[in-house]
């Protein structure tokens, strides 16, 4: 089993237990374990097979959870989870994804109204049944109605990062077949969208049946849903569906272009083909009945007088104008990153020490990092007040002096409070090497107040960057109502950077706003928000987001050596 599948089981178990009112510390243990597992590069299955006793050495994994992991790996199931699934319908768990509606209210809706799906809940709210429940009222009923679409989206969209290990494993297995000559993912996955609804894989093969047999037998595949001569649809064990299409060699490039999308991009490409007397489809480019091109994507784009366009840019957001002008950007690469400037340690809610984080970053080739634990407002994460923060910085300096080959900056993730002040006084912030200002609370405040809060931070002489600027959690929580035009103008005027938070559930800024920040000349910082040594691996997803925004190495501040990076700071 993939780590992401196991983590999802623990998350689901926590959700179901939460609906039953389980102890908060028990829930936290399962969620922390899920976070540890999903961020690991080592396979839990491999650990169980080779050294199961080592499970308890993982952060947040005690004897009980280790036993559950062994059960999951050996049987593919967790009896406790199966029992809870039988008691609580999946649709009720979906209701937990409605913003502003906690588990107690969801449990009440299930118990009192007998609603088991989002559609049933919508009907009950529209009838007025929800508003009549004790402790609900008309306002809560409207909150439910407003959040149903978000809850529904969380079911049909999957984090890109959660899907990548499975896609990579399946593509690698297919590529190893002697009958398969080419294979690659397509669709929104190839375009590196932050979430994906389903998966597409294209292949060329001398034996399409053998390729489909191999996919059907793959351990990550739960069920074959449909199969033809050249197309097969399966459902993976993580719940997402995947299409495998086996195409002729002469059609591979055309099929890749067609099935990569986006729809909006492809409409323009097909129109350009028609203007040149050509017909373009997934089989190739034709003039009347004559085959013109299709073996490679480069050939397909050449027929419509364009250079090859990177998949991440294929959204019809200006890529055609850039291509025609010969100005397609050389997109950022993961190897360009030299620093990571957002992470947490055991001082607050991280699972590793300062030294462990620094060593892990160094092993990944980073040249500098900033330790940025939470400020005191984040009480649930044991946030730091001024005295604890200064003591923490003294520890960072000690570690800095003991480790060579990587620089460690004294930083802080400082909350922008609801009243538009900062969580720590200026004399404390003035001592930091690096200050991230963030919105964590009050995300539903009116646009004017959100703007006031962001401007307060941007105008502060000690703030270097606005972290995860909207505060969104993908498919779970919408971001604050940010006036990005006003925010970016202020950031450009005051020399404040903007972050792309690379964590798989944030990816905030999104690609549209990251491109807008670039247009303003604002340096972008891509950081992992790592809470463990494995969290550094999230950097790739921030890079994907940056590529979708058209960012180059020069647009990203922490691609620079530390000496050059420091020149961008206010201080």
pTM (2 d.p.)? 0.82
Contact 556, 525 (CB under 8 A): yes
What is the pLDDT, as a whole number, of residue 39? 66
State how far the Cα of 376 lies from the Cα of 523, in Å rounded to an integer: 28
Peptide bond preceding 509: is omega within 30 degrees of 0, i.e. cis?
yes
User: Domain extents for the chain?
Assistant: 3-156, 159-246, 251-324, 334-566
Please list, residue by residue across 221-257, b when 16 or more beta carbons sit within 10 angstroms of its beta carbon and e when fewer do.
Answer: beeeeebeebebbbebbbebebbbbbbbeebbbbbbb
State how far the Cα of 570 lies from the Cα of 260, in Å rounded to an integer: 42
Contact 502, 529 (CB under 8 A): yes
What is the pLDDT, as a whole number, of residue 42? 72
Strand order in the sheet with 199-205: 180-185, 199-205, 241-246, 231-236, 221-227
Contact 500, 542 (CB under 8 A): yes
Q: Hey, what CATH class is 159-246 in?
A: alpha beta
What is the pLDDT, as a whole number, of residue 154? 64
Strand order in the sheet with 407-415: 339-340, 368-371, 407-415, 434-438, 465-466, 497-501, 524-527
| Close Cβ partners of 258 (under 8 Å, ≥ 6 residues apart) | 266, 281, 282
521: left (phi over 0), alpha (psi -120 to 50) or beta: left
State how far the Cα of 566 lies from the Cα of 553, in Å rounded to an integer: 16
State how far the Cα of 551 lies from the Cα of 343, in Å rounded to an integer: 23
Question: Which CATH architecture is the domain 3-156 placed in?
Answer: Orthogonal Bundle (1.10)
The residue among 488, 509, 496 whose CA lies nearest residue 551 is 509
Contact 491, 514 (CB under 8 A): no
**Structure tokens belonging to residue 145:** 């109605």
Q: Is 148 helix (H, G, I), strand (E, B) or coil?
A: helix
Local structure of residue 219 (DSSP, 8 states)? T
Largest CA distance in the chain: 77
Contact 295, 255 (CB under 8 A): no
State how far the Cα of 70 lies from the Cα of 287, in Å rounded to an integer: 60
Query: What fold characterizes domain 251-324?
Result: Beta Polymerase; domain 3 (3.30.210)
Helices H, strands E: what count in the chain? 25, 17
Please list, residue by residue across 37-60, b when 16 or more beta carbons sit within 10 angstroms of its beta carbon and e when fewer do.
Answer: bbbbeebbbebbeeebeebeebbb
Distance of CA 513 to the CA centre of its chain: 16
Local structure of residue 229 (DSSP, 8 states)? S
The residue among 419, 504, 505, 497 whose CA lies nearest residue 463 is 497
State how far the Cα of 65 lies from the Cα of 13, in Å rounded to an integer: 12
Q: Taking the CB of residue 206, how many other CB atoms lie within 10 A of it?
A: 13
Task: Count CA within 13 A, CB hemisphere, residue 46.
Answer: 7
Alpha helix (H) ranges present in 76-114? 79-87, 90-94, 103-113
Alpha helix (H) ranges present in 375-483? 386-402, 426-429, 447-459
Task: Using the Cα atoms of residue 167, residue 170, residue 172 and residue 175 in order, give the sign of their dihedral.
Answer: negative
**Structure tokens belonging to residue 44:** 């839990």
Contact 231, 203 (CB under 8 A): no
Beta strands 158-159 and 195-196: pairing type?
antiparallel
Query: What torsion, rounded to 10 degrees, do the Cα atoms 144, 150, 151, 155 define?
Result: 170
Per-residue pLDDT of the chain (571 residues; tens, 9 = 90+): 778 789 889 988 998 998 888 888 899 899 889 878 876 767 798 899 999 999 999 988 999 999 999 999 999 899 999 999 999 988 898 898 888 888 889 999 999 999 999 999 999 999 999 999 999 999 999 999 988 887 876 667 889 999 999 999 999 999 999 999 999 999 999 999 999 989 999 999 999 999 999 999 999 999 999 999 999 999 998 888 999 999 999 999 999 999 999 999 999 999 999 999 999 999 999 999 999 999 999 999 999 999 999 999 999 999 999 999 999 999 999 999 999 999 999 999 999 999 999 999 999 999 999 999 999 999 988 999 999 999 999 999 999 999 999 999 999 999 999 999 999 999 999 999 999 999 999 999 999 999 999 999 999 999 999 999 999 999 778 899 999 999 999 999 999 999 999 999 999 999 999 999 999 999 999 999 999 999 999 999 999 999 999 999 999 999 999 999 999 997 6
State how far the Cα of 509 lies from the Cα of 526, in Å rounded to an integer: 10
What is the pLDDT, as a whole number, of residue 501? 98
The residues facing 374 across adjacent strands are 413
CATH number for the 334-566 domain, one of 3.20.20.70, 3.20.20.140, 3.40.1260.10, 1.10.3720.10?
A: 3.20.20.140
What is the pLDDT, as a whole number, of residue 310? 98
Contact 247, 211 (CB under 8 A): no
């Amino acid at each position: 089993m993939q780590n992401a599948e196991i983590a999802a089981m623990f998350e689901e178990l926590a959700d179901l237990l939460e609906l039953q009112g389980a102890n908060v510390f028990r829930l936290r243990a399962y969620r922390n374990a899920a976070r540890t597992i999903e961020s690991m590069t080592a396979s839990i299955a491999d650990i169980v097979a080779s050294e199961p006793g080592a499970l308890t050495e993982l952060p947040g994994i005690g004897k009980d959870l280790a036993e559950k992991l062994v059960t999951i790996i050996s049987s593919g199931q967790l009896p406790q989870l199966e029992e809870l699934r039988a008691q609580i319908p999946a649709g009720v768990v979906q209701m937990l994804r409605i913003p502003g509606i906690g588990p107690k209210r969801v449990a009440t809706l299930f118990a009192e109204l007998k609603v088991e799906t989002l559609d049933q809940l919508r009907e009950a709210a529209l009838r007025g049944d929800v508003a009549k429940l004790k402790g609900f009222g008309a306002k809560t009923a409207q909150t439910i109605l407003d959040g149903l679409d978000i809850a529904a989206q969380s079911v049909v969209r999957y984090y890109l990062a959660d899907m990548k290990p499975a896609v990579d494993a399946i593509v690698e297995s297919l590529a190893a077949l002697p009958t398969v000559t080419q294979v690659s993912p397509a669709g929104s996955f190839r375009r590196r969208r932050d979430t994906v609804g389903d998966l597409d894989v294209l292949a060329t093969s001398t034996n399409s049946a053998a390729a489909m047999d191999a996919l059907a037998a793959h351990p990550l595949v739960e069920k074959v849903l449909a199969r033809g001569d050249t197309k097969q649809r399966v459902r993976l064990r993580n719940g997402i569906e995947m299409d495998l299409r086996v195409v002729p060699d002469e059609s591979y490039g055309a099929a890749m272009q067609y099935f990569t999308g986006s729809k909006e991009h492809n409409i323009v490409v097909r129109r350009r083909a028609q203007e040149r007397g050509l017909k373009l489809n997934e089989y190739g480019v034709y003039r009347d009945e004559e085959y013109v091109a299709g073996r490679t994507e480069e050939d397909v784009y050449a027929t419509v007088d364009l250079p090859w366009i990177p998949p991440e840019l294929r959204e019809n957001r200006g890529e055609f104008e850039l291509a025609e002008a010969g100005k397609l950007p050389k997109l950022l690469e993961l190897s360009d990153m030299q620093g990571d400037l957002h992470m947490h340690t055991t001082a607050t809610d991280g699972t590793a020490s300062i030294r462990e984080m620094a060593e892990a970053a160094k092993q990944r080739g980073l040249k500098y990092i900033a330790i940025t634990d939470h400020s005191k407002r984040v009480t649930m994460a044991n946030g730091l007040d001024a005295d604890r923060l200064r003591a923490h910085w003294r520890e960072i300096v000690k570690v800095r002096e003991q480790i060579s080959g990587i620089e460690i900056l004294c930083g802080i993730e400082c909350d922008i409070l609801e009243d538009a002040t900062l969580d720590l006084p200026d004399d404390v912030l003035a001592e930091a090497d690096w200050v991230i200002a963030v919105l964590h609370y009050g995300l539903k405040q009116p646009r004017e107040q959100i703007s006031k809060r962001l401007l307060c931070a941007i105008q502060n002489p000690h703030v270097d960057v606005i972290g995860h600027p909207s505060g969104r959690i993908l498919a779970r929580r919408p971001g604050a109502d940010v006036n990005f035009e006003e925010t970016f103008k202020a950031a450009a005027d005051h020399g404040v950077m903007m972050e792309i938070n690379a964590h798989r559930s944030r990816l905030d800024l999104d690609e549209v706003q990251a491109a807008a920040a670039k247009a303003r000349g604002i340096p972008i910082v891509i950081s992992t928000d790592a809470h463990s040594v494995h969290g550094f691996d999230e950097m790739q997803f921030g890079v994907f987001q940056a590529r979708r925004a058209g960012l180059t190495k020069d647009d990203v501040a922490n691609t620079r050596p530390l000496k050059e990076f420091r020149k961008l700071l206010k201080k």
